[in-house]
């Protein structure tokens, strides 16, 4: 929802404040013969300042000279505006898809993957274009500095003549455009995590969580206890021996015999009621 509302709005503010800018400089030149002339210099987007020219009186007769500003800053400015326009169009397209084509968007997870990839790309573009435009704006301010422009005029270099600045360019809109550029970067970069969550890739990485050391020790203890119980059970059930029975009255002795399977108890023939204790023996290989 944050991207749907603020991404198109911030993009519009970015390219409107930069692409719609125009500045003006006005200098009054008063020659020593009391003749005056106002010099007006206008410039704007895309800031190809080397193409901006203006006529200045030489103050020697009625001659004029044509001067040009210095610098070409169109590449960075156009790059910034292009990123702004593309981000605005993609935001509108994404809004339409979110609202009206949600099923198509979720089909085979292609929509979230594309959205996440495009979000990362636009975050990088906003960062690069904003840094480039901020540096370019500093160059534009230097190239259009009124004191430097007056140094280009031969009439202003003569101390007998008077040059006065009547109007200077206002940089508020361009400063705001740089601020909106970094705001757009923060917005798109912050949306990377939410776009990544829409892909579901973070869930697939947690499908088989790793066991903690305490769980491993608990599991090994249960396995050891179960195996020990099984070994003890099978040991007691292997063979059963009966202790020889002694008849104290008759002195008879029954032989020691073994039996596999069910235990057998042997008694003395003359004394059916007397028998010795049973002994369980565990045979180990």
Q: Answer yes or no: are the C-beta atoms of 188 and 119 closer than 8 Å.
A: yes
Lowest model confidence (mean pLDDT) among 57-66, 72-81, 168-177: 57-66
Average of pLDDT values for 138-157?
A: 92
Query: Is the predicted pLDDT of residue 44 greater than 50, yes or no?
Result: yes
Averaged confidence pLDDT in the chain: 77
Q: At CB < 8 A and 24+ separation, what contacts does 115-118 make?
A: 115/195, 115/198, 116/192, 116/195, 116/196, 116/198, 116/199, 118/90
In terms of pLDDT, which residue wins out, 11 or 280? 11
pLDDT band per the 50, 70, 90 thresholds, residue 85: very high
Tens digits of residue pLDDT in 209-252: 445 555 545 454 455 444 444 444 444 444 444 444 444 444 44
In the chain, where are the structural domains located? 2-204, 239-285
Helix (H, G, I), strand (E, B) or coil at 99: helix
Rounded mean pLDDT, 19-33: 92
Q: Please tell me the distance from the alpha carbon of residue 231 to that of residue 213, in angstroms, as a whole number.
A: 27
pLDDT at residue number 48 = 95
pLDDT at 270: 44
Q: What is the pLDDT of residues 110-140, one digit of tens each?
A: 778 888 899 999 999 999 999 999 999 999 9
Both tokens assigned to 245: 């029975």
d(CA 146, CA 142): 9
Closest-CA residue to 48 (of 144, 175, 126, 176): 144
Radius of gyration of the chain from its Cα atoms, rounded to whole angstroms: 47
**Residues 56, 64 contacting (CB under 8 angstroms):** yes
- DSSP track, 126-192: HHHHHHHHHHHHHHHHHHT-HHHHHHH-HHHHSTTSEEEEEE----HHHHHHHHHHHHHHHHHHHHH
Q: Pull the structure tokens for residue 50.
A: 């080397």
Between 43-57, 72-86, 172-186, 266-280, the lowest mean confidence (pLDDT) is in: 266-280
Q: d(Cα 201, Cα 113) in Å, to the nearest integer?
A: 9
What pLDDT is attached to residue 277? 53
Check residue 225 and give its pLDDT.
46
179-214 burial: b if 16+ Cβ within 10 Å, else e:
ebbbbbbebbbebeeebbebbeeeeeeeeeeeeeee
Cα separation, 197 vs 201, in Å, equals: 7
The answer to whether 224 touches 54, Cβ cutoff 8 Å, is: no
Q: Is 142 left (phi over 0), alpha (psi -120 to 50) or beta?
A: alpha
């Amino acid at each position: 929802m944050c991207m749907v509302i603020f991404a198109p709005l911030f993009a519009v503010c970015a390219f409107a404040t930069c692409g719609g800018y125009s500045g003006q400089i006005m200098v009054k030149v008063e020659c020593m013969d009391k003749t005056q002339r106002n010099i007006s210099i206008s410039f704007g987007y895309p800031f190809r300042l080397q193409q901006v020219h203006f006529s200045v009186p030489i103050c020697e007769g009625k001659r004029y000279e044509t001067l040009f500003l210095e610098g070409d800053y169109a590449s960075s400015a156009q790059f910034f505006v292009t990123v702004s326009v593309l981000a605005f169009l993609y935001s509108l397209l994404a809004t339409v898809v979110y609202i009206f084509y949600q099923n198509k968007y979720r089909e085979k997870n292609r929509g979230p993957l594309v959205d996440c990839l495009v979000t990362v790309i636009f975050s990088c573009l906003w960062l690069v274009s904003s840094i480039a435009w901020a540096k370019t704006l500093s160059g534009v301010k230097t190239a259009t500095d009124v004191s430097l422009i007056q140094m280009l005029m031969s009439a202003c270099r003569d101390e007998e003549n008077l040059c006065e600045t009547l109007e200077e360019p206002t940089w508020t809109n361009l400063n705001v455009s740089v601020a909106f550029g970094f705001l757009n970067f923060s917005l798109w970069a912050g949306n990377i995590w939410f776009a990544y969550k829409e892909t579901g890739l973070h869930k697939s990485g947690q499908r088989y969580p790793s066991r903690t050391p305490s769980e491993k020790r608990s599991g090994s203890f249960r396995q050891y206890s179960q195996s020990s119980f099984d070994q003890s059970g099978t040991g007691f059930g292997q063979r059963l021996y009966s202790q020889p029975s002694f008849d104290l009255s008759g002195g008879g002795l029954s032989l020691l015999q073994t039996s596999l399977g069910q235990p057998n108890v042997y008694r003395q023939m003359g004394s059916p009621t007397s028998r010795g204790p049973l002994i369980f023996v565990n045979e180990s290989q």
